Amino acid sequence: MKKQRLNLEYELHSNSANIIWSLISSAHGLEKWIADSVKRQDDSFIFRWGEEWGNHEIRKAYILSENKQESIRLRWDNDEDKDAYWQLGMVKSDITNDYILTVTDFAEADDMESLRDIWDSNMEQLHRSTGL
């Protein structure tokens, strides 16, 4: 079954392109709000949730494209829908002069609400760990 596209936007309390870009494109930045551990290996990221010596999940995402201080697009290595990806982007608000984090992701129709909840939870973690 073909997945549906989900587009989300989150206002961040920062006008620093370097800070936002680091949070969405570096292993150290992604570790603050996406997973417990993130490592970059050439053209991919390895994400781990949970304790390494206990119950945990590891997933690999390949970098499809990376436009510096604009967006990064990734695809999970085990995703059967070859048109599906997830993308993190940054757009400057003309009104507040702060950045808006844009998220594009894909899920099956029955999983759309769950996917939205995951991204909302990730954003809560980002706010707690960085204040943005």
The 10s digit of each residue's pLDDT in 27-81 is 999 999 999 999 999 999 999 999 888 889 999 999 999 999 999 999 999 999 9
The arithmetic mean of pLDDT across residues 88-111, rounded, is 96
CB-based contact 129:30 (threshold 8 Å): no
Contact 12, 103 (CB under 8 A): no
Q: For 108-130, how does the pLDDT look when each residue is reduced to its tens digit (9 = 90+)?
A: 999 999 999 999 999 999 999 99
The sign of the dihedral angle between the CA atoms of 102, 79, 44, 41 is positive
The pTM score is 0.94
